[in-house]
Structure 1
Amino acid sequence: MYPNAYIQYLIHFHGDRDYFECHEILEEYWKEEPRSQRKPHWVGLIQIAVSLYHQRRGNWKGAARMMEHALAILQKEEAAVRELGLDYESLLRLLGNQLDDIIHQRAYKSIMLPIADGELTETCIRQCEKLGFQFGSDSDMANLSLLHRHTLRDRSEVIAERQRQLQKRKQR
């Protein structure tokens, strides 16, 4: 019923709290569609994860910007949010409260997206158990690879692609 990428997003969001992985999973899924058919609600969910990643690291400006964008998108995507098994009103309230915490630079606290579909919750709990995660656990603030994941990844392919694109523009 739900795309596997979305379930994986929820597992990482509520299990190991790997927001970077949440971003990667949904972005890859979102990009599978032709540009003209890409759904904005996926971007909203990606931006929630990115915002929390920034907040957890103390990047208040980046966290606020991403949460503001996520809220702006998801406020226009009620039907899509409901189809994803989320409680729309609770989600908007939660994100508004999270944005307030970010703006006032309150310490990061793990949040739970309000899943309204009990079967989806059960699926996520079972998958978390298989992966050795506890659904609903708090972020491991001592796990530096989780907190600083973007600085530890291999970016050689991204850098090489940027160089190729730069060369193409120069040749034009």
Structure 2
Amino acid sequence: MYPEAYIRYLIHFHTDRDYFECHEILEEYWKKDGYKKVWVVLIQIAVALYHHRRGNNQGALRMMQKALSLLQKEKEAAGKLGLDAEQLFRQLERYMERIAQKKAYESIELPIRDEALRKICQTRCEKQGLTWGQASDLNNAYLMHKHKLRDRTEVIAARERKRKSKELPDR
């Protein structure tokens, strides 16, 4: 009923709070799913929280504003993903105020309206030994700075392959 990537996003979002991974998962799916804008909303929410947790209030505020603006247009699509779009919109507005006031990062839960979706996610969490709704571990340096600390070997190699494929052959 729901894409596997979305379920994985929700699990990361509500357990280990690995917002960078949330972004990666949905960006890959977004490209496969015809670039639907509702996925961008969810990506932007994760990126905004990633920035805010790291103390980048300006980046967080800018990304949250984009998410709110796009959510306004994508409320129906968000509803089809089992979310309470109106509640999500109000929640993001409040969180944006939090960022603007330079208040500290706080973990949030997305308002999942579809109880069957919530049950799927929570059952998987139990099987994986994860705790749904736990707060972000602010002492986990890898989680906080993942964009700098992750292994980028494959990404760099893929870019190099793409660059080489675009080069003109020698004559």
TM-score in terms of structure 1 length: 0.90
Query: 2:117 maps to which residue?
Result: 120
CA distance in 2, matches of 1:170, 1:58: 41
Question: Which of 92, 104, 109 matches 1:107?
Answer: 104
CA distance in 2, matches of 1:45, 1:59: 19
The 3-state SS of whatever aligns with 2:73 is coil
In structure 2, how many angstroms separate the alpha carbons of the residues matched to 1:150 and 1:72? 25
CA 1:170 to 1:101, structure 2 compared with 1: closer, same or farther past 3 Å? farther
List per-residue Cα deviations over 1:33-78 (Å, max 9, x = no partner): 3xxx320010110010011011001011111111111111111011
Deviation at 1:158, TM superposition (A): 2.9
Task: Report deviation, 1:6.
Answer: 0.5
Structure 1 residue 157 displacement after superposition: 3.2
Q: What's the CA shift for 1:167?
A: 6.2
Moved over 6 A (4+): 167-170
The alignment-based identity, stated in percent, is 57
Structure 2 unaligned blocks of 5 or more: none
Counterpart of 2:3 in structure 1 is: 3
Report the Cα distance in structure 2 between the residues aligned to 1:29 and 1:165, rounded to whole angstroms: 20
CA RMSD, aligned part only?
A: 1.8
Matches within 5 A, 1:54-93: 54-93=51-90
Name the CA distance, whole Å, in 1 between partners of 2:159 and 2:85: 38
Is residue 131 of structure 2 the alignment partner of residue 155 of structure 1? no
5+ residue gaps, structure 1, are none
Report the number of matched residues: 169
- TM-score, normalised by the number of residues in structure 2: 0.91
3-state SS of 2:49 partner: helix
Partner of 2:132: 135
Between stretches 158-167 and 104-113, larger displacement belongs to: 158-167
In 1, the alpha carbon distance for the partners of 2:17 and 2:160 equals 33
User: Greater shift after overlay, 79-88 or 124-133?
Assistant: 124-133
How far apart are the structure 2 equivalents of 1:149 and 1:130? 25
Q: Describe the superposition over 1:7-33 as per-residue Cα deviations: whole angstroms up to 9, x where unpaired.
A: 110001001111111111111111113
Report what 1:22 is aligned to. Answer: 22
